[in-house]
Amino acid sequence: MMSKAELARKAGLSTLTIDRVEAGRPCRLDTKRKILLALGLKVSDKDRLFGPNSDADLLAASDAMRAPDPAPSSHSADPVAASSPAWIGPNTGNGESTR
């Protein structure tokens, strides 16, 4: 039996990545390959380790990442101004407030 830390070290991945894969979160094919090889398995064993639909999950996740961003909010064009407290005022770029 191998610990997560040892698997992560052998695979060249972080323990957080190993945690995510264990939890069933999608990951890149290269990550799966590294895990398989670190466990002494062949790439052809991927379905046995990750499940038969693992490639479909990866494609769905990649499609979701390519989805268009939602329309920008009309509330504020400046995200810094929108997140700044009202007493700060908008940044003029020269260290002075416009208020």
- CATH number, domain of 54, equals 1.10.260
Taking only the tens place, the pLDDT of each residue in 25-58 is 989 989 999 999 999 999 888 888 888 876 665 5
Q: Is residue 90 part of a domain?
A: no
Residue 23 lies in a domain: yes
With 0.75 as the threshold, say if the pTM is over it. Answer: no
> How many domains does one find in the chain?
1
The answer as to whether 16 is a domain residue is yes
The Cα 56–Cα 2 span in angstroms is 28
Answer yes or no: is pLDDT of 23 > 70: yes
Question: Is 11 domain-assigned?
Answer: yes
CB 34 within 8 A of CB 11: yes
Q: Is residue 49 part of a domain?
A: yes
Any domain includes 39: yes
pLDDT value at 78 more than 70: no
Half-sphere CA count of 84, side-chain side, radius 13 A: 12
Q: Which amino acid is at 62?
A: S
Domain span at 52: 4-64
Indicate whether 87 belongs to any domain: no
Alpha carbons 45 and 35: distance in angstroms, whole number:
11
